Amino acid sequence: VYFLYVLYILFTYYIKNRLFLVEYISILKKGIYMPYLEEVFNYLNRTSPAQTEFYQAAEEVLYSLQPLLDKYPKYRKHKIIERIVEPERQIMFRVNWLDDNGEIQVNKGFRIEFNSALGPYKGGLRFHPSVNAGVIKFLGFEQIFKNALTGLQIGGGKGGSDFDPKGKSDNEIMRFCQAFMSELFRHIGANTDVPAGDIGVGAREIGYMFGMYKKLANKYEGVLTGKSLKWGGSLVRTEATGYGCVYFAKNMLAARGETLEGKRCVVSGSGNVAIYTIEKLYHMGALPITCSDSKGMILDEEGIDLLLLKDLKENQRARLSEYIKYRPKAQYTPIEKYPEGRNAVWSVPCYAAFPSATQNELNLEDAKALLANGCKCVSEGANMPSTAKAVDLFVETKIAYGPGKAANAGGVATSQLEMAQNASMLSWTFEEVDAKLEQIMKNIFQSASSTAAEFGQPTNLVLGANIAGFRKVADAMIEQGLV
Ligand code: NDP
C-alpha cells in the first residue's frame, strides 16, 4: 500500500510538474556520463571564465555526442573534443569612432574564427550592447555544426560588437561600420572568412562595411554576404532564415502526418528572422498571431499585418508599440506587464511556436505554458532561444522540436549560395534559390532525423543534429591531420 501511495504521489507530482523527470534524467545523464567530458568542462571553466552562454552551448552539444564517442573511439583518440572547443583564432579589437556631436566613442570589436575544416570561416556579425567574448564564442561554436549540417563547404565563425545601433543617425552607423572594418578587413577574404549579418546588422550595415573593405583591400570580391541585390547580393538571402525555419517545421510535421495549414502560430521578435517567418507561415496557410521586440509584444488575433510590420520595422525603424495605432483591435503588452521571469509570447495558445528574437528567450516555465496550451511544434529561428531545461522538456515530451542549429541554417546556406553566385559571376532567379533553400532544409531534417534514429532516439533532433554536424567536421579534421 505504501509503495502504491509513493507511486501515486510521484505520478501526480510528475503530471503537475514535468520538470521532475526532466531534472532527474539530466542529473542521471551527468552522473553517468564520463569523467572525460567533465574534464573538458573543467578545462573550459578554468581557461575561459564566466562565458556562461558558451558553456550552455558546449554542454548541449557535447553531452549529446556520448553515444557517438562510445561507438567510435577514433574521435577520442584524435582528441577531437578538446580541439573543437578551442577556436582556431580569436580577434579582439578597439573600434574608435566620432558621433554626430564630434565626441569620441569607443567600442569593442570581435571576430572568432572557430573551425575551418569544411571551408572558409562563415557566420554573421552582431551589433548589440549585450555582445561580449562569451556570446560571440557560443554563436561561433553553434555555427560550426550548423554550417556542417547544410552539407556545404563552409567552416564556422562569428563576430560583432557591443555597439548599439538603436537611436544612431545614418551617418553614425556609417562611421561605426567603417571604423569596425578598418581593423576587420585584414583578417577576412572571399576564401578565408566571409561574415554576414545578424542582430543589428542588415543590408545597410553590410553596405557600409563592404564599401570600406573594397577601399582598404582594393578588391571587389564576395567577402560579405547579405549584400544589396544591386551589387552582388542573392535573391532570397533576406528571406532565407525565416523561410528556412518554416520549411524545417513543415518537414518535422510532415514526418508526423501533420501540416501548418490553418494553424495558430506564435512568433517572437520583429526583425529579419521574425518577419520572414511570418511571411512564409502565411504562404503555408497558417495564422501567425504574435510578434515582439525588446520592449513588448503584439497579439493580433486576426493575424499579424505583415505589410504594416515591414513598414514599421524595415522602413520607419519604429518600436512595435506603434502597431496598435494602425490596428486598434490588436493588443500590445509592454514587458513590464509580462508575468515575472517569463516571456508573454509563449503564454498565447498555439499549435506551433517560432522563437526568432535572441538567446534564452524561452525558459522552462514558458515551455510548460506552451505545452499546457497544446503546442505541438517548436522551430527555432533564433540561436539557442530555449534554455537547457526548456530543451530537455521539449525532447522528453517528444513534440516536433527543431533546434536552432538545424532549423535556422537556411540563412547561412543561402549565404553560401550567394558566395557561389559571386564566384561564378552569375545570378540565379528567386525561384531557383528558393527551391535550393527548400531542398537544403529538407536534407538537414533528414540528416538530423536519420542520425537520431541510428542512435536509437528517432524524435530527438537535438541529438541527431549535433551528431550529424559533429561527425562531418570531426572526420574532416582527422583526414586533414594535426593542424
Ligand atoms: P534583428 O536585429 O533583425 O532582429 C532581432 C529581433 O529580436 C528584434 O525584434 C529585437 O528587438 C529582438 N531582440 C533582440 N535582442 C533582444 C533581447 N535581448 N530581448 C528581447 N528581444 C530582443 O536580428 P535577426 O532577426 O537577424 O536575428 C534574430 C535571431 O536569429 C538571433 O538569435 C540571430 O542570431 C538568429 N539568426 C539570424 C540569422 C539571419 O540570417 N539574420 C541567421 C540565423 C540565426 P529590438 O529591436 O527591440 O532590439
pLDDT tens-digit profile of 343-387?
999 999 999 999 999 999 999 999 999 999 999 999 999 999 999
Torsion region of 119: left, alpha or beta (phi above 0 gives left; psi -120 to 50 gives alpha)? left
How far apart, in whole angstroms, are the C-alpha atoms of residue 441 and residue 481?
31
Give residue 49's Cα distance to chain centre: 23
Assess whether pLDDT exceeds 60 at residue 15: no
Q: pLDDT tens-digit profile of 237-253? A: 999 999 999 999 999 99
User: How do beta strands 89-98 and 121-127 pair?
Assistant: unpaired
Grid cell for residue 238: 533576406
Distance of CA 271 from the midpoint of ligand 1 (Å): 6
What are phi and psi for residue 410, nearest 5 degrees? -65, -30
Strand intervals (E) in 166-295? 193-196, 264-267, 287-288, 290-293
| pLDDT mean over 426-436 | 97
Distance of CA 198 from the midpoint of ligand 1 (Å): 7
Q: Tell me, what's the pLDDT at 257?
A: 98
Closest CA to 147 of 482, 444, 452: 444
Q: pLDDT tens-digit profile of 50-67? A: 899 999 999 999 999 999
Ligand 1: residue whose CA is nearest its atom 28 = 357
Q: Tell me, what's the pLDDT at 235?
A: 98
How far apart, in whole angstroms, are the C-alpha atoms of residue 390 and residue 385?
10
Percent of the chain with pLDDT over 70: 95
Q: Tell me, what's the pLDDT at 84?
A: 97
Q: Tell me, what's the pLDDT at 16?
A: 54
Grid cell for residue 226: 547579405
User: How do beta strands 104-115 and 89-98 pair?
Assistant: antiparallel
How far apart, in whole angstroms, are the C-alpha atoms of residue 399 and residue 45?
33
Q: How far apart are the first and last CA of the chain?
A: 64
Report the nearest atom of ligand 1 relative to the CA of 335: 20
Q: Tell me, what's the pLDDT at 385?
A: 98
Average pLDDT, rounded, for the chain: 94
Distance of CA 457 from the midpoint of ligand 1 (Å): 31
Give ligand 1 pocket residues (Cβ under 6 A).
197-200, 241, 269-274, 293-295, 356-358, 381-383, 408, 411
How far apart, in whole angstroms, are the C-alpha atoms of residue 147 and residue 141?
10
How far apart, in whole angstroms, are the C-alpha atoms of residue 469 and residue 471?
6
Instruction: Give the helix/strand (H/E) hosting 123.
Output: strand 121-127
Assess whether pLDDT exceeds 60 at residue 24: no
| pLDDT confidence tier of residue 78, bands split at 50, 70 and 90 | very high
Query: Which of 273, 312, 320 to probe ligand 1 with, by most ligand atoms within 8 A of CB?
Result: 273
Ligand 1: residue whose CA is nearest its atom 44 = 382
Residues forming the active site: 158
| pLDDT confidence tier of residue 25, bands split at 50, 70 and 90 | low
Q: Tell me, what's the pLDDT at 242?
A: 98
| pLDDT confidence tier of residue 22, bands split at 50, 70 and 90 | low
Report the nearest atom of ligand 1 relative to the CA of 358: 32
Assess whether pLDDT exceeds 60 at residue 233: yes
Residue type, 182: S
Distance of CA 357 from the midpoint of ligand 1 (Å): 4
Distance of CA 5 from the midpoint of ligand 1 (Å): 49
Tell me the whole-structure pTM to 2 decimals. Answer: 0.92
| pLDDT mean over 300-317 | 97
Report the nearest atom of ligand 1 relative to the CA of 359: 32
How far apart, in whole angstroms, are the C-alpha atoms of residue 325 and residue 478?
59
Q: pLDDT tens-digit profile of 116-144? A: 999 999 999 999 999 999 999 999 999 99
In the block, residue with C-alpha cell 572558409: 120
How far apart, in whole angstroms, are the C-alpha atoms of residue 50 and residue 53?
9
Is-contact 136 359, C-beta < 8 A? Answer: no
Q: pLDDT tens-digit profile of 321-342? A: 999 999 999 999 999 999 999 9
Ligand 1: residue whose CA is nearest its atom 29 = 382
3 state SS for 14-52: HHHCCHHHHHHHHHHHHHHCCHHHHHHHHHHHHHCCCCH
Q: Tell me, what's the pLDDT at 187?
A: 98
Report the nearest atom of ligand 1 relative to the CA of 269: 9
